[in-house]
Structure 1
Amino acid sequence: MSDPTHPTAPAGGTEVAPPPPEPAPATTERNASLWADARRQLLRDPVFIAASIYVLLVASMAAFPTLWTRQDPRACDVQRTRIAPSWEHPFGFNNLGCDYYSHAIHGARPSLQIAIFATLGIVLLGGIAGLLAGYFGGWVDAIISRITDIFFSLPFLLGAIVFLTVIKQQNVWTLAAVLIVLGWTTIARIMRGSVLSSKGLDYVQAAKAMGAGHGRLMFRHILPNAIAPMVVYATITLGAFVSAEATLTYLGVGLQPPEESWGIMISQHQVYFLDHPWLLLFPCGLLVGTVLSFILMGDALRDALDPKLR
């Protein structure tokens, strides 16, 4: 006998089925991975976007200089020596009567080439050394750490000057090689610390218990979780190596004329600063802007990849 007071029983006493539950509102599944969250944050960061645009512009100068100027940087006329900037020649002419704007555009290529090659080299060399040291530990870690300490004891600038003086051949490849030899140690330390903190995580231990080999554990499970700090440091190092190339060239042990380089432009025209300041300000401005943009990109990457800073 039905209860007339039951919510499913109408006044006539006939039972009816309860109404079906309302469907849950549709939700959009969100990719909660570290890199996806970082990408979303970076796309909303005006500083990162502005720095990235500047770096892309400089990269286009290095890759496609003819998009920026049709002038030949080696077409010089001494009668135009140190003529001030004009609408047709926005950077004026240098002390040899060459178009200074074309020199600045073509000078981006060797600086970026050296920075990119050197950064790739230290990422490969230092990353592998740090990965091996952190994963295996023991005598492997001891040997790699002692080698790292030896290179750490070498002053970077002094060591680069000595090596380049001994080599007596200054070009893009020798400068990149010297920067790799002296610059891989920090990457190795960063990677070692990241691996030490990652290899004890539960999913790594679970993969190890299921019989995963050393290669799979290192490159499939540990490396993706430990690579973020290295990416941040590598981005900042790109700017540091652009600055290092200009410094070594300014000191006379880097690139040599007739190569176009911002460091060569600064070295050759420093004496004209009081009378013709644009000869120093234009290459210095491009150099400072490029280095600063890489540093700002690295800082933004660090903030985006660290959940504690969000």
Structure 2
Amino acid sequence: MSDTTIPGTSGSPGTPRARHARHAKSPAQPARDPRSPKGPGPQDAKPAGLWSDAWHDLRRRPLFIASAVLICVILLMAAVPQLFTSVDPYDAAGCRLGDARQAPSSGHWFGTDSQGCDTFARTVYGTRVSLLVGLSATLVTTLVGGLLGLVAGFRGGWPDALLSRVAEIFFAVPSVLGALLILAVFRTGTMWTVMLALAMLAWPMTFRIMRAAVITAKGQDYVIAARALGASGGRLMFRHILPNSIASVIVVATVNLGVFIAAEAGLSFLGVGVQSPSISWGLMIADARPRFLEAASPLLFPAAFLSLTVLAFIMLGDAVRDALDPKLR
């Protein structure tokens, strides 16, 4: 007896219903263009913010790259001076009066000073004091001035009026004269007193810049919307306003760092800043000035390091400013 397939049954491979079932197993997929890129589409891409856009722009600026490389070398010199010289300038045994005021040579790359000490070693070790004063003063002025400017710009009213009047009093005092007066009163000659004297007179500039940025930011739509949703004052200040107001303060802080380093050198040169046995570039320039015509290298090399350091931080501040300000691109 032969097997017979009943027409119209689902098990029959030749029936129309079976053929339709085979074709309906999987839905039709659209053909993919082989030229289309792999990965998520434009709708899945993460939107670029201010900082990521600024970093992308900074990496293409030769000015930023050159200043960043120079600053990294200076920071390494201040952190680990033993990588650059094996001579310890704080060791009195390394200074020989018989080698005083020698010209640059293979044994002393920058020559020697009036005490017979190696100028290159003193220049390398002097980086730490000058850089610490600049970094500390910048940190204090940014924190104090930025916080007071945030409160004054956000609160308004009598807190704004009071803080603004106090800042104007400090603005009325000339920076160099005020620092000279403060350091002459304390007479300690340490880098911390120099830092405090500079920070005490410089915070009003950061205060005014932050205050103006906060006043502009707190009238934006996203702040008004967050306030309408019930956000507290602290959340509005630190979550919404501060991230959108800090860019200008960072630019000013970068430039001020170089200014503070130069100010420390000037105060030490005048005799009211860092005192011996500490080593700083300004103190080295002051010690070498009377013998400049006999030996120029003890003055020229620390002055060159000072100029390059200040120039590097100012160039970095200019590059950051251009990257964070879309109008300057």
* Same structural fold, with TM-score higher than 0.5 when normalized by the shorter chain: yes
> CA deviation digits over 1:283-306, x for unaligned, max 9?
010000000000000000000000
- How far did residue 144 of structure 1 move? 0.5
Which whole-Å CA distance do the structure 2 matches of 1:190 and 1:278 have between them? 41
Instruction: Give runs of aligned pairs for residues 217-296 of structure 1, distance below 5 A.
Output: 217-296=236-315
User: What secondary structure, in the 3-state scheme, does the structure 2 residue paired with 1:121 have?
Assistant: helix
Q: Which runs of 4+ in 1 moved over 4 A?
A: 18-28
- 1:69 equivalenced with 2:85 (yes/no): yes
Contact 1:118/1:241 (8 A) holds in 2 = yes
Which whole-Å CA distance do the structure 2 matches of 1:269 and 1:88 have between them? 20
- 1:307 equivalenced with 2:323 (yes/no): no
In structure 2, the partner of 1:60 is 76
> CA deviation digits over 1:13-65, x for unaligned, max 9?
xxxxx995867945462542010011011111111111111111111111101
In structure 2, the partner of 1:172 is 191
Matched letter for residue 259 of structure 1:
S
Contact 1:272/1:279 (8 A) holds in 2 = no
Contact 1:82/1:97 (8 A) holds in 2 = yes
Which whole-Å CA distance do the structure 2 matches of 1:270 and 1:283 have between them? 12
How many residues are treated as equivalent by the alignment? 294
- 1:211 equivalenced with 2:227 (yes/no): no
Matched letter for residue 247 of structure 1:
G
Distance verdict in 2 for CA 1:198–1:25, change over 3 Å: farther
Which whole-Å CA distance do the structure 2 matches of 1:107 and 1:39 have between them? 32
Which whole-Å CA distance do the structure 2 matches of 1:269 and 1:39 have between them? 42
Instruction: Give runs of aligned pairs for residues 1-150 of structure 1, distance below 5 A.
Output: 20=30, 25-26=36-37, 27=41, 29=45, 31-73=47-89, 74=91, 75-150=94-169
Instruction: Give runs of aligned pairs for residues 193-204 of structure 1, distance below 5 A.
Output: 193-204=212-223
Which whole-Å CA distance do the structure 2 matches of 1:207 and 1:31 have between them? 21
User: What secondary structure, in the 3-state scheme, does the structure 2 residue paired with 1:200 have?
Assistant: coil
Contact 1:160/1:178 (8 A) holds in 2 = yes
- How far did residue 88 of structure 1 move? 2.5
- How far did residue 273 of structure 1 move? 2.3
> CA deviation digits over 1:162-182, x for unaligned, max 9?
000001112111111111110
Contact 2:223/2:241 (8 A) holds in 1 = yes
Which whole-Å CA distance do the structure 1 matches of 2:267 and 2:305 have between them? 17
- 1:153 equivalenced with 2:172 (yes/no): yes
- How far did residue 271 of structure 1 move? 2.2
Gaps of 5+ in 1: 1-17
Which whole-Å CA distance do the structure 2 matches of 1:50 and 1:87 have between them? 28
Which whole-Å CA distance do the structure 1 matches of 2:69 and 2:274 have between them? 27
User: What secondary structure, in the 3-state scheme, does the structure 2 residue paired with 1:207 have?
Assistant: helix
Rg larger in structure? 2
Across the aligned residues of Structure 1 and Structure 2, the Cα RMSD in angstroms comes to 1.7
